[in-house]
Amino acid sequence: MTESTAKRLLIVDDEMDLLVLLRKVLAKKCGCDIALAQSGAEALEKIASWHPDVVMTDIVMPDMDGLELLPKVVKLDSTISVVIMTGYGTIEMAVTALKNGAYDFLEKPFDNAKISQIILRAFERTQLLRENLQLQKELQKTDRPTEFIGQSTPLRHAIELLTRLGQSDATVLIRGESGTGKEVAARTIHKMSKRCKQKMITVNCPALPEQILESELFGYAKGAFTGADNDKDGLFLEAAGSTILLDEIADIPVSLQTKLLRVLQEKEIQPLGQTKTVKVDVRVLASTNQDLEAKIAKGEFREDLFYRLNVMTVTMPALAEMQEDIPLLALHFLNIYVQEYQREGMELSQEALQCLTRREWKGNVRELQNRINRAVLLTKDILITPVDLLSPEELAEDTSSNKAGAEVPVCVHKLPYSEAKEEVMTYFTSSYLKKALTMSDGNVSAAARNSGLGRQSFQRLMQRHHIQSQSFRKE
């Protein structure tokens, strides 16, 4: 018999009648496996052996109350979501539990629909925490052979090809959309080659005017032009014994393409102002995001140069082809910018990760990186939500299209109706709380009063959406 893959819920209470009732309600509504414990000690034994995803526990119990049980659960498994059950008069204790790491709390008497909703969200939280832990483990692996982050089939195939090409000395043309990591691909080839001990030279072809690009590539002799007071070696000579990457080679002027063709054919260069040629031992890699065949048809790129460059071709996959890698990439960039901006503790919400996965990334990995950079820098809270990932233009467009002025996450249209509704409501609550706290300068009591909510209800919502009031207080 195979082990059940259903989510697991452990319910802890010293009243057996209540345990039986809760098991009956939640087994049907949440579709999960349920275990029962009548004491804190029994709960700890079952957590160690049964490994639940969510623990639902009463506060008041004879041997060990819920507040004592909570840190012990976290110590055993920090990804378990703990939901506190509380009766009248123990609300303050429940708020304390929230501050100490509990996910949420339920007030007795229970509303069945509300219980199931909270437990389902707790399962989602546990899943997100565990997925993030797994992603962190992947990122921390020291045996990754390349700089690429991801495990999708298209990326793995590209890495395998790059690795094989690294073992040869052939000229390679790296193609792909903007932001797909063509320069990283070139570094991978160089790292896998016999030339890896030497520094790879990268030339950004569009960044330099024609005259300067020529002198930078091939060098010049003293007196070759006004201001040439000394001989200067070009980048091809600097890359001797190593690799040179001609980035965005489609933008090299036709006049320079002839000289570049000579380098590839004869393995020699002719510096400006010099009649003799110089032999060079350089491996040439080139990259482009343009349609070279179309440029050839227009007379903007030499066909013979194309065939010299196109000895071997690697096409880097677009982000749309490797959507499963987006969470790993997002977490990778999150870690980078959290350290850079000293914003320890920031996380991506499950909704944010889902939104990132569903988006269309015209700028590919580079655009994804920029979004995470912006979110870490500008988000006030420690939890990044879908709205934090929107650009100013998307926010403006979204707001102008909604007469009520309430933004809606732009990625919900691809979801089933029920999921889209849940995501919009989650975003609305988070956005409402943030605006209320902004208007009150982080004063929770004032924000709750202005919102028509009790302070404790407002605090519960803040806890549920990982919002901290100090983020909204003026310096």
Question: For residue 474, how many other CB atoms are within 10 A of its CB?
Answer: 5
- Per 3-state DSSP, the chain is made up of helix, strand and coil in percentages (nearest 5) of 55, 10, 35
Q: Is-contact 22 11, C-beta < 8 A?
A: yes
Residue 49, pLDDT > 70, answer yes
Bridge partners for 120 per DSSP: none
Structure confidence at residue 138 (pLDDT): 66
List pLDDT tens digits, range 105-143: 888 888 888 888 889 888 988 887 787 777 767 666 655
8-140 and 153-317 in the same fold: yes
List pLDDT tens digits, range 178-213: 999 999 999 999 999 999 999 999 999 988 888 889
Structure confidence at residue 139 (pLDDT): 60
**Displacement of CA 108 from its chain's centroid (Å):** 40
The residues spanned by each domain of the chain are 8-140, 153-317, 320-472
Residue 380, pLDDT > 90, answer no
Structure confidence at residue 166 (pLDDT): 92
Structure confidence at residue 209 (pLDDT): 86
- What integer best gives the mean pLDDT of the chain? 85
Domain 8-140 belongs to what topology?
Rossmann fold (3.40.50)
Give the integer Cα–Cα distance in Å for 151 and 139. 11
Peptide bond into 109 cis (omega under 30): yes
Give the integer Cα–Cα distance in Å for 300 and 68. 74
Write out the CATH class of domain 153-317: alpha beta
Q: Is-contact 98 59, C-beta < 8 A?
A: no
Residue type, 100: N
List pLDDT tens digits, range 389-442: 876 666 555 444 443 344 455 556 656 666 667 767 777 788 888 888 988 888
Distances (CA, A) of 389 to 10, 300, 427, 456: 35, 39, 12, 29
Structure confidence at residue 370 (pLDDT): 94
Q: How many residues does the chain have?
A: 475
In the chain, what is the straight-line distance between the N-terminal and C-terminal CA atoms, in Å? 61
Laid out side by side, the sheet with 283-288 consists of 201-204, 243-247, 283-288, 172-175, 312-315
Structure confidence at residue 160 (pLDDT): 93
List pLDDT tens digits, range 302-335: 999 999 999 999 999 999 999 889 988 998 999 8
Structure confidence at residue 42 (pLDDT): 94
| Cβ-Cβ contacts under 8 Å for 124 (sequence gap 6 or more) | 350
pLDDT class of 469 with cuts at 50, 70, 90: confident
Q: What is the DSSP string of 121-186?
A: HHHHHHHHHHHHHHHHHHHH-S--SSS-----HHHHHHHHHHHHHHTS---EEEE--TTS-HHHHH
Q: Is-contact 222 271, C-beta < 8 A?
A: no
Structure confidence at residue 403 (pLDDT): 39
Tell me what the mean pLDDT of segment 27-39 comes to: 91
The structure tokens listed for 315 are 């096409």
CATH code of the domain made up of 320-472:
1.10.8.60
